[in-house]
C-alpha cells in the first residue's frame, strides 16, 4: 500500500538541524502513522512541513504536524540526539521520535532531552 511506501525517517546524514514529527492519516480516519522529517536546508520548521504536506496529499493522506525540535546526527560515532522545540508547532514528543528513529538507525545510540541546545 501507499502508506508502506512512505519512509518512516528522512533526515540529513550529518549535522544539527530542525525536524518535525508528522502524523499521516487517511481522510475519514482509518490507518495512521507518524513520520520524522528533518533537514538543515530548512530555516524554519514550517519549511519542512510545506515540503512534506503536498507530497503526502498526493498519496492521499492528511498531514498534521505534531511538533518539532532539533536533531543532532553524528554518523561517524553513530549517535543521534533529539532536543529542542519548534516555536510554531511546539515541542514534539521526542520519545516518540526516538522510537521511530530506532527503526531506521538500528545500530545507533539515540537519546533525547528537553534541552534547548
> pLDDT tens digits, residue range 1-24?
666 789 999 999 999 999 999 999
Domains of the chain listed by start with CATH number = 9-113 (3.50.20.20)
Q: Find where cell 545507533 sits.
A: 108
Per-residue pLDDT averaged across 95-102, rounded? Answer: 98
**In whole angstroms, what is the distance from residue 65 CA to residue 68 CA?**
8
- Is 58 part of any known ligand binding site? no
Query: Is residue 73 annotated as a catalytic residue, yes or no?
Result: no
Nearest Cα residue to 36 out of 107, 111, 93, 115: 93
How many CB atoms sit inside 10 A of residue 106's CB? Answer: 8
Q: From the candidates 45, 47, 73, 94, give the one annotated as an active-site residue.
A: 45
Tell me: pLDDT of 87 over 70: yes
User: pTM of this prediction?
Assistant: 0.94
- Phi (first) and psi of residue 88, to 5 degrees: -75, -40
Residue 71 in contact with residue 80, Cβ under 8 Å?
yes
Amino acid at each position: 500500500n501507499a502508506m508502506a511506501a512512505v519512509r518512516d525517517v528522512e533526515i540529513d546524514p550529518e549535522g544539527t538541524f530542525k525536524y518535525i514529527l508528522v502524523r499521516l492519516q487517511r481522510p475519514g480516519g482509518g490507518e495512521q502513522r507518524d513520520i520524522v522529517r528533518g533537514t538543515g536546508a530548512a530555516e524554519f520548521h514550517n519549511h519542512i512541513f510545506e515540503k512534506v504536506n503536498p507530497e503526502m496529499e498526493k498519496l492521499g493522506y492528511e498531514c498534521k504536524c505534531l511538533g518539532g525540535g532539533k536533531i543532532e546526527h553524528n554518523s561517524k560515532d553513530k549517535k543521534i540526539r533529539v532536543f529542542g522545540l519548534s516555536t510554531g508547532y511546539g515541542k514534539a514528543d521526542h520519545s516518540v521520535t526516538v522510537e521511530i528513529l530506532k527503526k531506521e538507525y538500528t545500530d545507533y545510540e539515540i537519546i533525547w532531552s528537553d534541552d534547548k541546545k
